[in-house]
Chains A and B, each alone.
Chain A
Amino acid sequence: GESVGLHLPTLSVQEGDNSIINCAYSNSASDYFIWYKQESGKGPQFIIDIRSNMDKRQGQRVTVLLNKTVKHLSLQIAATQPGDSAVYFCAELISNFGNEKLTFGTGTRLTIIP
């Protein structure tokens, strides 16, 4: 069946460096993707989203890249800070006759090293 998955479960990055978190999806009909950040003891927090008619979208210190050819999604965080340490999930919004649900990937734990 369709799935959204992540390449690496953990990633450690030196403070100030850039980080890249990757995600693969298998449903070629997917048209909307979201990156969430989850800090310990908290719920998923929206970071940035992208629709399939785009291949890049930028926010504050974050960029999402979408490669539909290889069904790959990435989240780039520039100039990482200690507060960026968290688990990052990609998610796919599945719509079915007006009903929606999010399908999440497994998650990547990002650790920023001071």
Chain B
Amino acid sequence: EPEVTQTPSHQVTQMGQEVILRCVPISNHLYFYWYRQILGQKVEFLVSFYNNEISEKSEIFDDQFSVERPDGSNFTLKIRSTKLEDSAMYFCASSVSTGGGSGYTFGSGTRLTVV
């Protein structure tokens, strides 16, 4: 079954450093998303991406965050200067179309720890 692949599974970084979280969405999917989950809390929407541009972003997704689809397969989330409160699980998701359903697939996540 096709999967959304995320790397690394765990990233530890020092406060103020830049991190790039990587995702390989399912190959025929057109819509891409990043969500995050602070430990013990609910999953929160960060950003959606379609046709090589951001469709929507949340209040969390400030100027320190950026997304990119540098080639035909990868979708990345960059945090320029990490803060302690950026520590969370970051999930990438993709879908072939809008409308939800079982086609909206999440990756296993990257656990980001900022120290």
Contact status B91-A44, CB under 8 Å? yes
- Secondary structure at chain A's binding surface: helix, strand, loop or mixed? strand
Contact status A102-B41, CB under 8 Å? no
- From B41, B56, B104, contact of A46 by CB (8 A): B104
Given contacts A43-B91, A49-B101, A49-B102, contact A89 B42 (CB under 8 A): yes
- From A43, A96, A101, A102, contact of B108 by CB (8 A): A43
The stretch among B13-21, B43-51, B73-81 that forms the contact with chain A is B43-51
Q: Please give the distance in Å from A104's CB to the nearest CB on chain B.
A: 4
- Report how many residues on chain B are interfacial, defined by Cβ distance under 8 Å: 26
The 8 A CB mask of A38-54 against B (1 = contact, 0 = none) is: 00011111100100000
Contact status B45-A102, CB under 8 Å? yes
User: In the bound complex, how far is the Cα of B42 from the Cα of A89, in angstroms?
Assistant: 8
Contact status B45-A43, CB under 8 Å? no
Write out the residue numbers on chain A whose beta carbons fall within 8 Å of the beta carbon of B41. Answer: 106
For residue B46, which residue of chain A has the nearest CB?
A: A101
For residue B3, which residue of chain A has the nearest CB?
A: A43
Q: Please give the distance in Å from B28's CB to the nearest CB on chain A.
A: 17
Write out the residue numbers on chain B whose beta carbons fall within 8 Å of the beta carbon of A103. Answer: 45
